[in-house]
A = this chain, B = another copy of it.
Amino acid sequence: MTIKDLAEATGYAVGTVSRALNGHPNVSEKARAVILEAAQKSGFQFNTNAKQLKQIHSNAIIVVVKGVGNELFGEMVETIQHSLSRTKYQLLVDYLDEDLNEVTRALQLCRERKPRGVLFLGGNNQNFIQDFAAIDVPCVLVTSDGSKLPFPNLSSVTTDDLEAARCGIETLIAMGHRQIAVIGGDPSISDTSRLRLEGCMAAFAAHDIPFDPRRDYQSGRYSWQNGYEAVQTLLRGGLRYTAIFAAADVMAIGAIRALWEYGLRVPQDVSVMGVDGLPLGSYLVPQLSTVVQDGARLANRGLTILLESIEQGKKARHETVPFRVAKRESIREIPI
C-alpha cells in the first residue's frame, strides 16, 4: 500500500495524495476527506525510509544507555518512552556495557540513523573529550556533568554527585558515626564514582575523620554482587566500621547481605546507606536509607532540554536536579 495505490484508488494524483496526507495547504476539503478516508480504511502507512531518504535526518531520538544493569536508568527509559510516545519522534534505545565508549557508539548510530538528538544516560567526560566533536546534533548528557566540556551542542542534567555523597556522609556523621567505609565504582573510570568519592572525602575532611581510600574504599561495578564482594574485602581486612556508605543502592543491598553473613546486623551493628533512591529500597527489611536521585525529573528535564534544542535551537544548558537524603531503617544513631 503506497501513495501511488492510494492515488489510483481515489482518482487523484500522487502529489495531491501526498499533500493531503501531510496536511499541506492547497488541497480541497473534498479531496482531503476522500483521501484520508481511503488511507484510513486501507490501513495505509508511510514508508519511513522513503520519506526520510530525502531529509537530512529522521525524526528519531536516540537514547544511549550506559550500564545495562542500572535500575535507575531503566526507570528513566520508561519515563522518556512515555513522554515521547505522543510526539512525532521515534525513540531508539541502545544499551551498551559500562566499559564501552558511549560516544563512539553514539557517533556510529548518528551516521546510521541520522537522529534529531541524542540522550546519554550515563557517560564519561573523557570519552566526550576524545570523540564528541564529530557529533553535530543536539545531545544531553544525563546523570553526568558536562558543564566542563566545551561543546555547544552538549547539554547536561545531573544530580550534584559530589554534594549528594557529601550529604550522605554528613548524615552518618551527624548520627555519631566515625568509622565509615565507602564502596562505589572505580573513580578512575567513572566521573560519577570519582565525584561521589570526593564528596565523601570532603565530608570526612571537614570533620577531621581519618579516611584512607586504599583501606576504607572498595570499588567495583554497580551490582548486587560487587557490593557484596566489596564488603567481604573490607571485613577481611579486619577493620571495624560502624557504617558503610555505598555509592549505589544496588551495592548497598549486596553489602547488607555480606554483613549479615559475617554476623553483623543492620542497623544494630552497622548502618548502611546507599545512593539512588530505588523504589525497591522502601520495600526491604530494613528499609534502605539512601540519597534519592529524582530519576523522573532527570529524565524529563533531559528530554525537555533536548527537545528545546532541537525545535527552538536553544543553546546548551547545564542543570542540576535536587536530591534528598532519605533516612530510613538501615541507619541508626551511635550512642556517644
Contact = CB atoms under 8 A, between A and B. Distances in A.
Contacts of A228: 283
Contacts of A68: 74, 78, 81
A285 to B, nearest CB: 5
Interface centre among A45, A111, A253, A283 (most CB of B within 10 A): A283
Contacts of A49: 48-50, 52-53, 58, 114
Contacts of A324: none
A296 to B, nearest CB: 13
A256 B285 CA distance: 8
Contacts of A32: none
A178 interface: no
A280 B279 CA distance: 14
Nearest to A90: B112
A221 interface: no
Nearest to A74: B74
A318 to B, nearest CB: 29
A175 interface: no
Contacts of A78: 68-69, 95
Nearest to A109: B90
A184 interface: no
Interface string A216-230: 000000001101100
A284 B256 CA distance: 8
A253 B284 CA distance: 7
Interface string A93-124: 10100000000000010011110000000000
Given A45-B108, A69-B78, 5 more contacts: A43-B111, A46-B112, A50-B53, A74-B74, A257-B287
Interface of A: 43, 45-50, 52-53, 58, 68-69, 74, 77-78, 81, 92-93, 95, 108, 111-114, 224-225, 227-228, 253-254, 256-257, 260, 279-280, 282-285, 287
30 contacts: A43-B111, A45-B112, A47-B53, A48-B49, A49-B49, A49-B52, A49-B53, A49-B58, A53-B53, A68-B74, A68-B78, A77-B95, A92-B92, A93-B93, A93-B95, A224-B280, A224-B283, A225-B279, A225-B283, A227-B283, A228-B283, A253-B284, A254-B283, A256-B285, A257-B283, A257-B285, A257-B287, A260-B285, A284-B284, A285-B285
